[in-house]
Amino acid sequence: MAAVGLTRSTTIDVLDELVEHGIVRELPNARAAGEYQKGRPARRFELRADSAVIVGVDAGRAHVTVTIADLRGESLVRRHTALDVARDSAPQRREAVGAAVDAALASAGLAGSAIAAVCIGVPAPVDADNASPRHPDGFWERMNAGLAAHFSDRAPLVHLENDASLAAFAEGAWGAAVGCRDYVSLLAGERLGAGVVVDGRLLRGAHGGAGEMVFLDDIPAVGGAWGLGFRAAEWAREAVDAGLVAPGSGLLSVPVGALDAPTVFALARSGDADALRVVERVGLALATIAGVFGSLFDSSLVVVSGGVSDGIEVVLEAARSAMPAHLDLPAPRIVASPLGADVVSIGAVARARAAVRSDVLLLTRSRAPAG
């Protein structure tokens, strides 16, 4: 009653409706449970977490990650599927994402289960109507692919969100930003994206573009919205190709084409001077980005999210040392996410669970009464 701000009778009416539709079950009342002291015994209820599932999807350019969870958000199965980027059309993406969800449900023995909510993260801005603006080469439209409409007949609650925004949702729910009201989640895959939370609210913008990173093209120390791992590998290869690496450097121990971010970071941790110079350059770029967000939004925290967060601490140390000294506002802390490469699908589950909590009565319209 205190949480929903309704009278006792109205609260009980709503709970009875949820019981009727199998979403909530009633427990023995307080007298039967031995908790009754005086007055009218309290009626007691609990969520039937297994009465339906929620589906969180990370529909990236080259992969789909599907997480199936119960209504409490507890993960039941997580499944990864690679996509054929050569067959990158909107119809093929819709088909591939739908097939990935079906495969995840089947692998958990949940085929045919009631789906309460679906949330899908895509590498594109998404507005409040699940639409993406036009992109010069059509990339955003292909990534969106009308996925919300495609799933509308499978669940009563369907949401499409930008992938970096869902990373921010995950960090606030279960990650490095729990309890923080002003932070940025920097999703650092091949490209950079940002989910921005101010005063506890995730920013979206008129076209879903809050946190888009095209402005980085005009910042020399960063040079574009390329991911931190991508930059580390690229700048290491450039140094090798230009003959700027000492003969004994570990950067020469692998073919230049095989140089990747984990190798560069590991060499830097071991003290390799040339790898450290690359890491310091990446750290300067990260510090510059964090400084921009700190100045724009007064963020207290920047979380580096995504697969690159594993092993990124050496870059974070360089970024903290390179943080611009001329910031008027206190510089944000920079930390790594504990959620790893699955952060977007984890955020999608958190977003779907929040939708169920806020719109639970919509579920009763799509379900026959239990029993």
The pLDDT, as a whole number, for residue 359 is 83
CATH architecture, domain defined by 183-338: 2-Layer Sandwich (3.30)
361: phi > 0 → left, psi -120 to 50 → alpha, else beta; which? alpha
125: phi > 0 → left, psi -120 to 50 → alpha, else beta; which? beta
The pLDDT, as a whole number, for residue 189 is 81
Give me Rg for the CA atoms of the chain: 24
Q: Is the dihedral of CA 37, 41, 42, 45 positive or negative?
A: positive
* 280: nearest Cα among 251, 323, 309: 323
The pLDDT, as a whole number, for residue 4 is 82
Domain with CATH 3.30.420.40 in the chain: 53-174+344-365, 183-338
The pLDDT, as a whole number, for residue 370 is 62
The pLDDT, as a whole number, for residue 104 is 95
Question: In the CATH scheme, what is the homologous superfamily, with its name and number, of domain 53-174+344-365?
Answer: ATPase, nucleotide binding domain (3.30.420.40)
Question: Which parts of the chain have pLDDT scores under 70?
Answer: 30-39, 364-371
Do 141 and 134 meet the contact criterion of CB atoms below 8 Å apart? yes
The pLDDT, as a whole number, for residue 33 is 55
The pLDDT, as a whole number, for residue 366 is 59
* 240: nearest Cα among 311, 308, 232: 232
The pLDDT, as a whole number, for residue 325 is 74
The per-residue pLDDT for range 345-364, each reduced to its tens digit, is 999 999 999 999 888 777 76
The pLDDT, as a whole number, for residue 196 is 97
pTM of the model: 0.88
The pLDDT, as a whole number, for residue 371 is 57
* 337: nearest Cα among 290, 301, 305: 305
The pLDDT, as a whole number, for residue 146 is 95
